[in-house]
Amino acid sequence: MIEPGARAPDFSLRDQDGELVSLDDLAGQTSVLVFYPLDFSPVCTDQLNVYQEVLPDFEAQGARLYGMSVDSAFCHKAFRDHQGLTMPLLADFEPKGAVARAYGMYIEARGHNERGFVVIWPDLVVKAVHKSPTPLEIPGANLIFDALAA
């Protein structure tokens, strides 16, 4: 797993609208990459809805959240629209889970992401990493707020 203090691994992924988002696009802002297994699954739906509820509070602290799973950009678009989410969702679709692997957030045996997050400083250095003990345990928003405040 990626460690705090390391440079964040490079990536370029499509968001729900097909726009390319790269690590370099995150420079100059505090970013939180939220890794989750799959769109439309019950626990993932709960997780992202919780984050959506407090998204203005994250933004007030200068942090931008990005959801990331192995789903396609088309699936992300449908999920985002269905749930009323406003955070960008990045498609780590092909090669499947390549970015999650680089961050240590992929479960090979299951073929999907771990549930966790990585906080990246404006200089693209990793500030904090959290991986839940199981994919069924949602990292509470309070853990992200704590990581941002530390």
- Match 């988002």 to its residue by tokens: 21
13, 32, 44, 89: the catalytic one is: 44
Confidence of residue 68 (pLDDT cuts 50, 70, 90): very high
Could you tell me if residue 78 is inside a domain?
yes
Which residues does residue 7 pair with via DSSP β-bridges, in sequence order? Answer: 125
Catalytic (active site) residue 75:
no
Number of domains in the chain: 1
For the chain, the C-alpha Rg in angstroms (whole number) is 14
Render pLDDT for 86-142 as a digit per residue (tens, 0 to 9): 999 999 999 999 999 999 999 999 999 999 999 999 999 999 999 999 889 999 999
Strand-pair category, 116-120 with 106-107? unpaired
The predicted model scores a pTM of 0.96
Residue 19: domain span: 12-149
Could you tell me if residue 3 is inside a domain?
no
